[in-house]
Structure 1
Amino acid sequence: MSINYAILGILSYKSMTGYDIKRIIQDSAFMHWSGNNNQIYKALTDLFNKGLVTHVVKHQESSPTKKIYTITSEGLAYLKEWVLSPADLSEIKKPFLVQLAWSKQLNTNELDKLVDGYENQVKMQLLMAQNNKQDTNFLAGSTALQATIWHFIDDNIRRTYENELGWIEDLRRAIADIPNENNVTLDVNMKMTIEEEKDEEIMKYTIMSNNEITYVHYNNSATKLSTERNILDIITAVAENNTQFVLLDSETLSKDFLEFKKGLVANMLQKFTLYHIKSAIIIKDINSLKSEFKDAIAESGRHDVLRLFTNIADAEKWFLS
């Protein structure tokens, strides 16, 4: 299926720039193209050459020149012809199922780790579907029928991930009591050590509610954000508590996290941006932070991802905004 149809479909609602089209495709959960500039503008050139779209150039004094695209009557006919054609069969592409199929060498702990990892991925995808901030301004003025159809498209995506989580639960129950020949008998002390290490990896948090918002608050200095796994655990906690807000006390941040070159903060910003999570860090002395770290936070703040505050009240106001 060509990206041309996605572009024509978007333009059938509203005229817009290539950049606007790119944002819509990138934020969509069902338009699978990457939406990079080369792909978008190459497709727009192709559509223009075929007479399926037109464009006008809009000059602006204080901003770059815009090229605004509009679908033509030929483009609408071309799009309708494709919409009425038989839909392609859905393909099942789940790398996890391939991994699971060849898991006969794994012991119980390793198998649990494999399933846990996939479950966390699905939970994060569900979170993104629930909190999707896709720009739907181009739908303004659409009919009640079209608005309902778009609602059910979002509902279909959400149900897909919820069904997958239900399937994972069924899988766990089915294999829970089946003997695993790969299990190795561990010394009791070794088992205790493994459980202690496992507990130490999990950051402890509380759920806070204030008027219109609920957020996950990490304020236990005994467990610190120090690994990529911790970042994934935070995202999972956000998903499980049906929110998109995270508050982190500075005491819960490890030295590695505060060291920008370690890459942990960049990793967190990337994932929080992907899953539309707003996070705040409470730190009394902001000037004590290294400039690289503060610059990264300032940049992310412009995109409503992560900001620094000296008190919880201001952080909550930002969440509410």
Structure 2
Amino acid sequence: MSINYAILGILSYKAMTGYDLKKIIQDSTFMPWSGNNNQIYKSLSELLDKGMVTNVVKHQEGSPTKKVYKITSEGLAALKEWVLSPAELIEIKNPFLVHLAWSKELNTCELNMIIDQYENQVKMQLLMEQSNKHDTNFSPDRSVLETTIWSFIKDNIRRTYENELVWTQELRRAISNIPNENDVTENTNVKDIAKEEKSGEIMKYTVRRNNEITYIYFNDSENKLETEKNILDIITTLAENNTQFVILDGETLSKNFFDLKKGLLVTLLQKFTMYNIKAAIVVEDMNILKKTFKDTVAESEKNDVFRLFTGVVNAEKWFLSLKQKEGF
């Protein structure tokens, strides 16, 4: 399937720059292209040569000039012809299934570990899909028919991830009582200890609802956020509870988190930005925080990803304003 038709389809809504097209394709869940500059501008060049698009150079005061591309009548005709042509069959290429196919060398603990990892990845993708509103950015004025069709496209993707979660649960049940020849009796104690250590790392939380906002509240002073795994666990918890909002009480944050050299804050910001998670840290005494830490958080505030508050009430008000602004 050529990316040219995806570009024509997007341009059929409105004229755009190559950068606009790149962002839409990269943010899309179902468009199977990387959307890098080479792809976009090579395709636009081909479409220009075929007379399917035109462009206009716009000069901007204080900014670089930009080319705005617009679909032509020939481009619309080609797009319609392609839409009417038979669609290619779906390709099932799941890397996890390849891992699973040759898992015969794994013991029970290791097998459960790779299933857990895959399940968490699916949950995070589901969270991203639930928070993905980019497909409406380039076409806000769709007809009722178009709106219905696009909602079913999103529903198809959501169901795919949900079906994967059901499948992983069925897989676990199917293999739970089957003996594994790679399990060694003398390692039982080691496994039990590892299981206890793992359970001890789980951060406790509560689900709160206030002013039509559902959010996850972490305030566990015993099991603190101190590893990247804890960050992934938080994302998984949000996905399981179908929310993008989380409050982290200062008591649940370790010294490692506040130490920028450890990189935990940067990792959290990157992943929360990726999954469109809105996070608040509640610290009663801001004076205990280093200036470098507060400056890093302040930078993220520009994108409404992460903010510092002295109380839960103000954090909830921020969540509510985001819901009204972004339509969560």
User: Percent sequence identity over matched residues?
Assistant: 69
- Once residues 274 and 58 of structure 1 are traced to their aligned partners in structure 2, the CA distance between those partners, rounded to angstroms, is 31
Give the CA deviation at 1:261: 2.4
Over residues 273-310 of structure 1, what are the superposed CA-to-partner deviations in whole Å (9 max), with x where a residue is unaligned? 11111111112343543444333322222112111112
1:260 aligns with 2:260: yes
- Once residues 285 and 31 of structure 1 are traced to their aligned partners in structure 2, the CA distance between those partners, rounded to angstroms, is 46
Q: Secondary structure at the match of 1:59?
A: strand
Query: Which position in structure 2 is the counterpart of 1:231?
Result: 231
- Once residues 46 and 296 of structure 2 are traced to their aligned partners in structure 1, the CA distance between those partners, rounded to angstroms, is 38
Query: Which position in structure 2 is the counterpart of 1:106?
Result: 106
Query: Which position in structure 2 is the counterpart of 1:210?
Result: 210
Give the CA deviation at 1:63: 5.0
Query: Which position in structure 2 is the counterpart of 1:88?
Result: 88
Q: Which runs of structure 2 are paired with 1:146-161 in the superposition (5 Å)?
A: 146-161=146-161
- Once residues 297 and 43 of structure 1 are traced to their aligned partners in structure 2, the CA distance between those partners, rounded to angstroms, is 39
Give the CA deviation at 1:135: 4.6
- Once residues 105 and 191 of structure 1 are traced to their aligned partners in structure 2, the CA distance between those partners, rounded to angstroms, is 17
Q: Secondary structure at the match of 1:208?
A: strand
Query: Which position in structure 2 is the counterpart of 1:199?
Result: 199
Q: Secondary structure at the match of 2:308?
A: strand
Q: Which amino acid aligns with 2:262?
A: K
- Once residues 286 and 48 of structure 1 are traced to their aligned partners in structure 2, the CA distance between those partners, rounded to angstroms, is 56
- Once residues 286 and 32 of structure 1 are traced to their aligned partners in structure 2, the CA distance between those partners, rounded to angstroms, is 45
TM-score by length of 1: 0.93
- Whether the aligned pair in 2 keeps the contact of 1:246 and 1:278 (CA below 8 Å) is yes
Q: Secondary structure at the match of 1:138?
A: coil
Q: Which amino acid aligns with 2:28?
A: S
Task: Note the residue ranges of structure 1 that are not aligned, 5 or more in a row.
Answer: none
Q: Which amino acid aligns with 2:139?
A: L
Query: Which position in structure 2 is the counterpart of 1:7?
Result: 7
- Once residues 248 and 238 of structure 1 are traced to their aligned partners in structure 2, the CA distance between those partners, rounded to angstroms, is 13
Greater shift after overlay, 261-270 or 58-67? 58-67
Change (3 A) 1:188 1:84: closer
- Once residues 113 and 191 of structure 1 are traced to their aligned partners in structure 2, the CA distance between those partners, rounded to angstroms, is 12
Query: Which position in structure 1 is the counterpart of 2:280?
Result: 280
Q: Which amino acid aligns with 1:199?
A: S
Task: Note the residue ranges of structure 2 that are not aligned, 5 or more in a row.
Answer: 322-328
- Whether the aligned pair in 2 keeps the contact of 1:133 and 1:276 (CA below 8 Å) is no
Q: Which runs of structure 2 are paired with 1:98-177 in the superposition (5 Å)?
A: 98-177=98-177
TM-score by length of 2: 0.91
- Once residues 192 and 98 of structure 1 are traced to their aligned partners in structure 2, the CA distance between those partners, rounded to angstroms, is 29
- Once residues 95 and 188 of structure 2 are traced to their aligned partners in structure 1, the CA distance between those partners, rounded to angstroms, is 35
Query: Which position in structure 2 is the counterpart of 1:23?
Result: 23
- Whether the aligned pair in 2 keeps the contact of 1:248 and 1:280 (CA below 8 Å) is yes
Query: Which position in structure 2 is the counterpart of 1:302?
Result: 302
Over residues 127-169 of structure 1, what are the superposed CA-to-partner deviations in whole Å (9 max), with x where a residue is unaligned? 1111212151332333222111111100000010111111111
Over residues 13-44 of structure 1, what are the superposed CA-to-partner deviations in whole Å (9 max), with x where a residue is unaligned? 11222232222212211012222344323332
Give the CA deviation at 1:237: 0.4
Change (3 A) 1:309 1:163: same
Give the CA deviation at 1:198: 1.4
State the superposition RMSD in angstroms.
1.9
- Once residues 182 and 301 of structure 2 are traced to their aligned partners in structure 1, the CA distance between those partners, rounded to angstroms, is 49
Runs of 4+ displaced beyond 6 Å: none
Over residues 44-70 of structure 1, what are the superposed CA-to-partner deviations in whole Å (9 max), with x where a residue is unaligned? 233223321112233344655443221
